[in-house]
Amino acid sequence: MTAMLNLDDLTSDATKTLRLKGVDHQATELTVEGYINRVKRARAIPTDAGVDVQIAETVKLLVEIFPTVGEAEFLTMPLRQLSAVIEFALNAPEDIAKQAEQPAQAEQPAQGDQAGNA
C-alpha cells in the first residue's frame, strides 16, 4: 500500500482575526523561514535589554503577524489593548479557548456542600 501525505489538504493555521477600529485583520501563517528569522531576532536581543527594547521587538513581531496593522497603530494603542493582542497573537487558538473556559470553571463551587466547601 502506498502512503500519501497531501499537503494541499492542510488548511492554513491563520484562523486568527484581529478587529481594530471596525476593520478585521487576518493573521499570516508562520513559515519555516519566518520562524527562523524570529528566533534569530529573539537571540539578538541582549539579556539585559530594557522593557522598551522588548516591547519594540514585540511590536515588530505583531506587525509580521498582522501586516495590515501598521507599527504606529500598535505603538499608539493603550497598553491594555497591546497586552491583549500579544496574548491573542502568541497563543494557539485552542489555548485561548481553554483560557476562556477556566474563569467559568473557577466560578463554580467545588463538589461538596452548598457553600462550596469540599
Q: What does pTM read for this prediction?
A: 0.68
> What single-letter amino acid sits at 35?
Y
> What does the DSSP assignment read for 69-110?
S-HHHHHHS-HHHHHHHHHHHHS-HHHHHHHHHHHHHHHSPP
Per-residue confidence (pLDDT) for residue 67, from 0 to 100: 95
Mean local confidence (pLDDT), 17-27: 94
CA distances from 7 to 10, 11, 73, 74, 90 (A): 5, 9, 35, 34, 24
Range with lowest mean pLDDT among 18-22, 76-80, 103-107: 103-107
Check whether 98 has a pLDDT greater than 70: no
Range with lowest mean pLDDT among 13-17, 41-45, 76-80: 13-17
- Higher confidence at residue 25 or residue 116? 25
